[in-house]
Amino acid sequence: MAVRVYSLAGRRASILMLLSFFSQPWLRAEELPLGQISDPVLCLHENGQSYALYLPTAYQPERRWPVIYCFDPGGHGAVPVALFREGAEKFGYILIGSNNSKNGPWEIILQAARAIWRDSHSRLAIDDQRIYAAGFSGGARAACGLGKMLSVKLSGVIACGGGLPAWLEPKDVIDVPWFGTAGLTDFNYSEMQELSKQLGAQGTPRRLEIFPGRHSWPAPELARTALAWLELHAMKTGVRARDDEIIANSLSLASAKARELENKQEWGSAYIQYASIVADFSGLADVTPAREKVADLQKAGVAKDLIKSESDRESEYTKSLARLKAMYSQLRGPLNEPGKARKIINELKIPWMRKKAAGKDLGPEQIIARRLLSELFSQAINDGQTYLEKKDGLRAVLAFQIAAEISPGHPSVLAVLAAAMALKGERKKALKTISAAIRAGYDDLEELEKESAWDGLRADPEFIKITAAIKKSPGPG
C-alpha cells in the first residue's frame, strides 16, 4: 500500500507529494494504524481530497473520541498532525490535517473542511460534543471559522499566528475557548494581542502564549500545553470527566515555569504566567499561591511597567510600519522613470533593518525591525504573486526583488523572481536567477513546468538544460 506511515519516533513530516494519488486503495477504518501518522488518507466520496490522520494507540471504535481538525496554510496536513501528535497520544485525541485547505480562497477551504468532516465521520468514532480546530496563519482563520462554515459547535480552537477571518467577529465565538500563539516578531503579533483582549473583555475563555520567534507554528512543547489547556476547559464545562492527575501535572508544570521566570527576574513574564494559572485552574485546584503572587507583583508595579513597555513598543512599531507602507506603496504607482525601482528599494532601507534585526538581544529595536521585515516580506511575496498572475512583469520583478533583499539566497524567492524576469523578457537575468535558485536547493520541477511565465523560454537550450538537471536530481531523502 502506498500510504506513508510515520512512527511516533519518526521525523517531523513536511511537504508530502500525492504522486500515486489515484492508484491507492481506499482505507477502511479497521485498516488505519494506531499510534502512527497515516498520510494521505483519501476521502471516500470526495475526489482529490485527502488528509493526514493520527489515531491514538488506545483508540477503539466502541467509544467516542475527541477530534482536532487541523489546517496548515500550505496544505501540508501532516505538519500540524505531527506537531500535536504527542499531546494527542497523551490525552486521547484524533488528529486530522487537511491536505487541500490552504491560505485561500475560501471556497477551497470550505470544500476541504466539508470533505474531511464527512469522511472522518463515516470512518471514525468521533465525539461530536468535543470538536476542536487548530491552524496556523490563514489556517488559523480557517480553524476559527470552522464552526460557522459547517454549522457545528466547537469546543475549542488553537489559533497560531492568525486571528479571525474577515467575515467573523469576536461575538460569533464568544463561547468557544481560544488558545492563541504568536511569535514575538510575528507580523500578526499585534492582531493576536488585540483579539485576545477583545475575547477576554466579552468573557471568552482565552489564553495567548507569546514565544521568542517569527511567524510559525509553535514548538512541540507549546503545542502540548495547548492540548492540556483544552483538557482543563473540557473539565470545567463538564464535557469530559475530571482527571485529578492531569490537573495536578498541568498545575505543577505551570507553577514551575512561573518560578523559573521569577528566578530569572523576568518579572513581566512571571506576572503573566501567574495570572494564567489563576484563570486556567480556578474551579479545578487551589490557586491561592498564584493569586497572591499576582497581587505582590501588581503592588511592585510590574503590571503597570509591563503595560507601558508594551504600549511604547507597539506605538513605535505602528509609526514605523506606516512609514514603511507609505514608501512601499510607490510600487503601485508609475515606474517609468529610470532608476525608479531601485530608488524604491533603497528608500525601504532593508540593509539597515536587517542589521537592526540581527542583534543578539531581543530588545524593542530588534523586535520592531524583525517584525517590519516579516511584514514587508509577506506583503512583497503576496503582491509579487498577484502581479505575476496579472502578467505585470515590471511590478512582479520589483516585489520579488524586495523579498530577495530581505531573505537573500532563499531558493523559492529566487525561483519566483526568475519567473518574473522571464515574464518581463529579461532572458539572461531569468536564466541566471533560476540557476542560482537551483544551486540554493530549489527542485520543484512541477511548479517550473506549469508556470506560464516561462513559456517563452521553454525551447531555449539553456532552459532545457536547467530543467533536465532538476529531473536528474535525486531530490531530498
Domain spans of the chain, in order of start:
4-241, 308-472
In order, the DSSP letters of 229-262 are HHHHHHHHHTSS---HHHHHHHHHHHHHHHHHHH
Q: What are the tens digits of pLDDT across the range 26-85?
A: 455 557 899 999 999 999 988 999 999 999 999 999 999 999 999 999 999 999 999 999
DSSP 68-95: EEEE-TTS-THHHHHHHHHHHHHHT-EE
Mean pLDDT of 314-326: 94
pLDDT of the residue at 29? 54
Residue found by looking up cell 500540524 in the block = 80
| Per-residue pLDDT reduced to its tens digit, 234-256 | 999 999 999 999 999 999 999 99
User: CA 52 from chain center: how many Å?
Assistant: 17
Look-up of cell digits 500535536: 84
Judge whether 63 and 42 are in contact, CB under 8 Å. Answer: no
Cβ(28)–Cβ(91) below 8 Å: no
**pTM higher than 0.95, yes or no?**
no
DSSP states along 160-192? ES----TT--GGGGTTS-EEEEEETT-TTHHHH
CA distance 67 to 127: 7
pLDDT tens track for 279-293: 999 999 999 999 999
Share of the chain above pLDDT 70, in %: 92
308-472 maps to CATH 1.10.10: no
Please name which of 391, 350, 340 lies closest in space to residue 372, comparing C-alpha atoms.
Answer: 350
- N-term to C-term CA, the chain: 20
Write the burial class of residue 192 (CB in 10 Å: 0-12 exposed, 13-18 middle, 19+ buried).
buried
DSSP 98: E
Task: Convert the pLDDT of each residue in 146-181 to its tens digit.
Answer: 999 999 999 999 999 999 999 999 999 999 999 999
Task: Report the candidate in 195, 14, 222, 44 with the shortest Cα–Cα distance to residue 117.
Answer: 44
CATH code of the domain made up of 4-241: 3.40.50.1820
* Best CA proximity match to 341, nearest among 402, 294, 282: 402
Give the range among 116-120, 177-181, 374-378, 471-475 with minimum mean pLDDT.
471-475
